């Protein structure tokens, strides 16, 4: 079916969503890989769920997904199966620790990193069929500045940029913020310093970035906090468990709980932009060559 033939039905499906509560959509992203972004996504999701929130975690690294590996899960399907019609989105959801709902992607499938606009739209359209009542949708994007990263990040209400204290991480984080602010008008970012000695080192890392952004970009950066180096985090990874669940009293677990509390204080959206429907619509507009949906 041609994309133009199913766009009206797609819009109708979006309008049928009856989510009564606003959904906070948070993208967790990074300029480069290897900074612990997915570990942050998983533990932040578990910490939020442990605080009583209904959380869904979307693995949006479509070609190199590893949330299921990080948690030792064996999903019966993933987003590639949704795309080719073998599964519905509801059918690929798996439960993680503390009841978080996880939408797994696939790893090592090149096609998933090169989706055509119609395929992006078809995949995104599947979200209109979800019936889960959610408080938070966390989106673990790929690293870098690919079209997929930009699409998912633009669709979120809040953007967390994960950095660590190494030159490439800082440089690439700046490049990501620059692209998203100048090209797509995203005005605000939350910066999370990962794998640092403590809060002071995390703040110093944040200051390194703000010194550059304050000079060259018109953006607002918020220091979300710092996650310290922690032996218990490494042990949790080896056990394929979230450190928040496996070692709840560890320094890393406490840091993630503090981050979850801070994120929970962000203003809750009360207009259309706060609903999962708006998340889908913005992605559809981005993936369909910026066509407007019918009124």
Q: What is the pLDDT of residues 5-18, one digit of tens each?
A: 434 444 444 444 43
Cα 195 to Cα 226: distance, rounded to the nearest angstrom: 8
Percent of the chain exceeding pLDDT 70 equals 75
pLDDT of residue 154: 82
* Long-range Cβ contacts of 79-83 (<8 Å, 24+ apart): 79/103, 79/104, 79/105, 79/106, 79/112, 79/123, 80/105, 80/106, 80/109, 80/111, 80/112, 82/123, 82/126, 83/112, 83/115, 83/119, 83/122, 83/123
Residue-wise pLDDT tens digits, 192-251:
999 999 999 999 999 999 999 999 999 999 999 999 999 999 999 999 999 999 999 999
pLDDT for 262 beyond 60: yes
With cut-offs at 50, 70 and 90, classify the pLDDT of residue 183.
very high
Q: May I ask the CATH class of domain 20-287?
A: alpha beta
Written as six digits, the tokens of 144 are: 């870098």
Rounded Cα gap, residues 58 and 281, in angstroms? 17
- What is the phi/psi pair of residue 239, to 5°? -85, 0
- d(CA 42, CA 269) in angstroms, rounded, equals 23
Phi, psi of 159 (to 5 degrees): -125, 120
* Residues pairing with 91 in the sheet: none
Q: Kindly report, residue by residue over 139-178, the tens digit of the pLDDT.
A: 999 999 988 888 788 878 899 999 999 999 999 999 999 9
State the Cα–Cα distance between residues 123 and 283, nearest whole angstrom.
10
The Cα–Cα gap between 28 and 59 comes to 10
- 63-107 tens-digit pLDDT: 778 899 999 998 888 888 887 778 888 889 999 999 999 999 876
DSSP string of 150-187, one letter each residue:
HHHHHH-SEEEEEE-SSHHHHHHHHHHHHHHHHHH---
């Amino acid at each position: 079916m041609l994309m133009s033939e199913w766009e009206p039905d797609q819009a109708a499906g979006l309008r049928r969503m009856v989510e009564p509560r606003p959904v906070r959509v948070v993208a967790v992203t990074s300029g480069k890989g290897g900074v612990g972004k997915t570990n942050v996504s998983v533990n932040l999701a578990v910490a939020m769920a442990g605080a009583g929130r209904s959380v869904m975690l979307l693995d949006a690294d479509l070609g190199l997904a590893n949330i299921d590996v990080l948690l030792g899960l064996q999903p019966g399907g993933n987003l590639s199966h949704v795309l080719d019609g073998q599964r519905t989105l509801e059918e690929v959801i798996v439960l993680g620790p503390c009841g978080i709902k996880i939408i797994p992607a696939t790893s090592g499938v090149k096609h998933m990193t090169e989706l055509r606009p119609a395929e992006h739209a078809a995949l995104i359209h599947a979200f209109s069929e979800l019936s889960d009542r959610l408080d938070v949708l966390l989106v673990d994007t790929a690293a870098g500045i690919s079209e997929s990263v930009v699409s998912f990040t633009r669709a979120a209400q809040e953007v967390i940029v994960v950095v660590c204290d190494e030159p490439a991480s800082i440089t690439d984080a700046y490049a990501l913020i620059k692209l998203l602010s100048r090209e797509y008008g995203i005005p605000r970012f939350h910066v999370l310093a990962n794998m640092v000695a403590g809060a002071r080192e995390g703040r110093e890392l944040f200051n390194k970035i703000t010194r550059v952004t304050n000079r060259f970009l018109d953006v607002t950066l918020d220091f979300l906090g710092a996650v310290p180096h922690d032996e218990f985090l490494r042990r949790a990874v080896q056990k394929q468990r979230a450190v928040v669940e496996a070692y709840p009293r560890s320094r890393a677990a406490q840091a993630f709980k503090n981050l979850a509390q801070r994120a929970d204080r962000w203003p809750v959206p009360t207009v259309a932009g706060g609903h999962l429907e708006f998340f889908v619509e913005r992605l559809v507009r981005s993936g369909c060559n910026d066509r407007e949906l019918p009124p």
